[in-house]
Amino acid sequence: MQELCQQLHALMNEQFNKELSGSIQRVQDALAPYIRFVRAEQEKVEVMRKQLTDLNNEAMRLKSAVEQMD
């Protein structure tokens, strides 16, 4: 009887782990398009941030040059 109980416990654990893995995979699959979108948008924002930093640095350089002309 104890062996049967152990086998049942092992089978239930195995089935639970399979179901859990399947559920996790389905959630990951469902989120994948959104994750890709967010990553792509983050890359765009980073490029814009770099451009803005470069433009700000150039503006500061020009301002300094103009102030030195006075």
Interval 5-46: pLDDT, tens = 999 999 999 999 999 999 999 999 999 999 999 999 999 999
State the pLDDT confidence band at 52, using cuts at 50, 70 and 90.
very high
pLDDT for the residue 32: 98
Kindly state the average pLDDT of the residues 45-69. Answer: 97
pLDDT for the residue 54: 98
**pTM for the model:** 0.63
CA atoms within 13 A on the CB side of 47: 6
Q: Is the pLDDT of residue 70 over 90?
A: no
